[in-house]
Chains A and B, each alone.
Chain A
């Protein structure tokens, strides 16, 4: 039906269009004119080649550096980057420093981590059922975290959110919420512990181990949490095929309690 309508209407439109006034319609872009103050009057530098690109984000992941971690009895080799520093590779405990890690507690308690504790979501599947938010005690749901770990409002709220996200399979969301909690309480080892858990669930065992190590430096005087962290490190090492390191971490977990 519009077959005949189109030419008729267009013709009408043409007639009308002829008469329209060009003014008052939408002005078009005037790219040449600048109205910003900041464009004016300043020296314009020729940017150098972005040589610092790598320094910003593309920092080498690691340099094959070996670090003697004081809390553990063996040094570890980080995944080597493109420039391994062979000179520092040292598979034995650093003898020059003679650092003897002091036991945190007497280790007399009979703690069996492997039986009572299993971090959620190892295979990234949905087999892990999230705790419902109604749990009044807050986040610590993974068995080994004791109720003595007091957390205040914002961190507790965000850990709860993260737990729900993790439970629904949204590991990225959970990690993101945990980093939000980390910004609020950067020295709260429980936040880092949860973050390490999520990293492990995401399949990044190396980062899980590192984040847990960072958490340990903040977990002084909290033996229960230390044990959980060592247990998590043990699992992360197992995932990386480091059975001996895992066994050592388990030993540390037992000593911590």
Chain B
């Protein structure tokens, strides 16, 4: 680099040389010539560098991960409140009329909005003005703003994260025609007034900067042009030296030689550093707009533009989330400059100065991190793509993540912990949760830690814990697949017993309440989670058979066929439990859980799909019976506290699970459209003060209360019949007989119908009353 110094000095001397001595002149000439040749060579080299990087792919873009787009259609279960939450997260502006993309206007139960349009895997969703009318918690009307019917529409999806390599730049590429009004004018007014006049370097601005800085006695203004700033960030290191400045200037001039102003400006807008988000560097106005305002750049207003441009000078110093006063002062200074230079009128500037900063809050739906779900997405992607494809190619990953359900799950978890505050040992209890759609197999929400924002140990995927009584539906399903042997009203004996295991050890199961419950109906063993009767049933059908049932349910662990497995000694992760219960909830059809729907390339071309897959593993009749017993868990068994908070009409099925010494508190259950698994326990596997019912079920209930699901309603399979039985004896009965209840049976396994009683229970009572009166 010392080479570049000599030509300058020799050249300046050369100019003076005309009045000097001939000998000096000769030397200077020779030196000058050598210097010129060296300089020319270096310039050619720099020129190649400049062109090479600028003409190719200028930036690598990390893959972007999107939540599910919110669908809108008449009859959709969606409260207006949740809808507005989603719109807020997407950065929709509340206005009196939905004037342009990203605007929303409220009028009573009607919401008018102008969607932004988006390129999806299935095709392009247009930007359009639509009206959504709500009635209760349902969408009652959907139309275009001109009144035309609209069958279905969807919002653009919320961006929930990306795949960044450690210490990487992230950006959303924008083009010059996508920038909002005033952005370019403001940028030039503040950073480089002579941009359109200079050739890469501007003597005028250097002089101005020198003047300003010397008169004020401090460094207030820089003389670098936008081109120099771009070169500095684009090609050069962070080193501050004269040599580097020279380099920068040369390259700026070279850049201007090859590329026009618009191209340089566009590159600048995408390159400039505007903030730091953990390991992720926020580059370019496109991403900065999303990061600070949760809005697309094109929609920004003057005061927002002024803030971002003002931050160019010092993104950390003027960080509006951390130093709002500084940022506000800087923004208002920029607005003043605009008024001074006549870019905007004084009135416009003054009114913009009245605006708040308008930066979206961290932790709001728009600005939250979902480390557990993203972890799941990344693991899947890393199986299918190379790391560099994920971090460089700008792929768009569309997932099934539902931010509204996620926030409800998080709220339920937080509130449960809050209500347990003060209980001994509760502060060490961790938690995990998985929420899926049982009919599609899509994962909609996931919590991997009691603190859902902390990335780290993802318990939803990685905490392998004994499942306790969660295993019991598999025992009963195994039995109910043999309708000639077992029905829901078969008798089971709940009495102490012991068996000798293969290892010679004697196994003596016990009930949770340490009591025996005598002779019970089969379904009662599951509903009340009795260990004695369940273990006996499991031994009757055979431990290996139960393990095979588990495998068919989707559990792929090779557990030894010990009797203790019948009571849940085997350990699973929450997401594995979700897979297992998914098969039960989905009518016996196993569906591999999915988090990713599809992938588009950076330019919107379809790349990959993760299709819905299903496989029938069980007779729907047997599943129907197990679901019936699991509904009894909720209506009369260990899960009945759920109806302290939820209406009785809401049909739910589920199962509590508690491992030895209350080390694990589980609940897994489902409605028609939602399945949720909750685990609570300690990372060190120590005992907790919680059972499945007092811990995980409380979170589950709180979640379901907020999510307001559809009642479970499995269509009755062809091979299932309803029969009247005497509730006390289990014998066949008939409608209208005393104690007669209806139970489902696999056709052919129902008890023979009893004789008709010929009168209703009410009649019987009246007869009795009459007899007493007589």
Where the two chains meet, the residues of A that have a C-beta atom closer than 8 Å to any C-beta of B are: 2-3, 6-7, 9-31, 33-39, 42-63, 65, 67-71, 78, 83, 85, 87-88, 94, 96-102, 104, 152-154, 156-158, 161, 165, 172-173, 175-177, 179-180, 182-184, 186-187, 195, 207, 210-211, 213-214, 217-218, 220
Of A26, A101, A104, A210, most B-chain CB atoms within 10 Å: A26
When the two chains form their complex, are residues A67 and B718 in contact, meaning their CB atoms are under 8 A apart?
no
Contact B748 A98 (CB under 8 A): yes
- Contacts A99-B621, A184-B152 known; 12 new A-B pairs at CB < 8 A: A6-B43, A14-B249, A24-B222, A28-B232, A35-B275, A45-B683, A47-B457, A50-B379, A55-B461, A154-B73, A184-B76, A218-B715
CB distance from B246 to the nearest CB of A (A): 5
Assuming the contacts A36-B362, A51-B462, A157-B151, asked whether A11 and B223 have C-beta atoms less than 8 A apart, the reply is no
Q: Is the CB of A182 within 8 A of B461?
A: no
CB distance from A219 to the nearest CB of B (A): 9
Among A15, A65, A154, A179, point to the contact of B552 (Cβ < 8 A).
A65
Residues from 445 to 502 in B contacting A, C-beta threshold 8 Å: 449, 451, 453-454, 456-458, 461-462, 464, 481-485
The answer to whether A183 and B199 touch across the interface, beta carbons within 8 angstroms, is: no
B458 touches A47 (CB 8 A): yes
**Cα-based distance from A50 to B449 in the complex (angstroms):** 16
Q: Are A88 and B122 in contact (CB under 8 A)?
A: no
Instruction: Contact check, A62 vs B276: say whether CB atoms are below 8 A apart.
Output: no
| Chain A residues with CB under 8 A of B464 | 51-52
Q: How far is the CB of A209 from chain B (nearest CB, A)?
A: 9
In this complex, the interface size class of chain B, counting residues with CB under 8 Å from chain A, is: 35 or more
CB within 8 Å for A180 and B201 given contacts A21-B222, A186-B673: no
Contact of B440 among A27, A85, A153, A182 (CB under 8 A): A182
The 3 closest A-B pairs by CB, nearest first: A24-B222, A17-B249, A45-B457
14 contacts between A and B (CB under 8 A): A17-B247, A27-B314, A29-B276, A31-B276, A34-B276, A38-B369, A47-B462, A56-B593, A67-B617, A83-B551, A96-B485, A153-B149, A165-B123, A207-B614
C-alpha gap A47/B459 in the complex (Å)? 9
Return the chain A residue nearest B234 by Cβ. Answer: A26
Residues of A within 8 A of B223 (CB): 19-21, 24
Q: Are A210 and B615 in contact (CB under 8 A)?
A: yes
B20 adjacent to chain A (CB < 8 Å): no
Q: A20-B223, A98-B748, A220-B715 are in contact. Are A214 and B614 (CB under 8 A)?
A: yes
* Bound CA span A154–B139, Å: 12
Q: How far is the CA of A43 from the CA of B222 in the complex (A)?
A: 43
Q: Which of B337-380 contact A (CB under 8 A)?
A: 362-363, 369, 376, 379-380
Alpha-carbon distance A213/B4, docked complex (angstroms): 78
Instruction: Decide yes or no whether B706 CB sits under 8 A from chain A.
Output: no
B43 near A67 (CB under 8 angstroms)?
A: no
Using Cβ atoms and an 8 Å threshold, which residues of chain B touch A99? 483, 619, 621, 719, 746-748
Contacts of A13 in B (CB 8 A): 200-201, 246, 249-250, 252-253
The answer on a CB contact under 8 Å between B222 and A25 is yes
**CA–CA, A46 to B458, complex, Å?**
10
Tell me the nearest residue of chain B to A48, going by C-beta. B462
A96 and B615 contact, Cβ closer than 8 Å, known pairs A11-B11, A57-B383, A161-B123: no
The complex places the Cα of A28 from the Cα of B272 at a distance, in Å, of 9
B278 with A39: CB separation less than 8 A: yes
Give the nearest-CB partner of A68 in chain B: B619
Report the nearest A residue to B368, measured CB to CB.
A38
- How far is A157 from B123 in the complex, measured between Cα atoms in Å? 14
Q: Does B573 contact A (CB under 8 A)?
A: yes
Contacts A10-B39, A47-B457, A220-B718: A52 and B224 contacting too (C-beta < 8 A)? Answer: no
Whether B169 pairs with A29 at a CB distance below 8 angstroms is yes
Which of A161, A182, A186 has the most chain B CB atoms inside 10 A of its CB?
A: A186
* Contact residues in B for A30 (Cβ distance below 8 Å): 276, 316
Measured between beta carbons, the chain B residues less than 8 angstroms from A98 are 483-484, 748-749
Does the CB pair B319–A17 fall under 8 Å? no
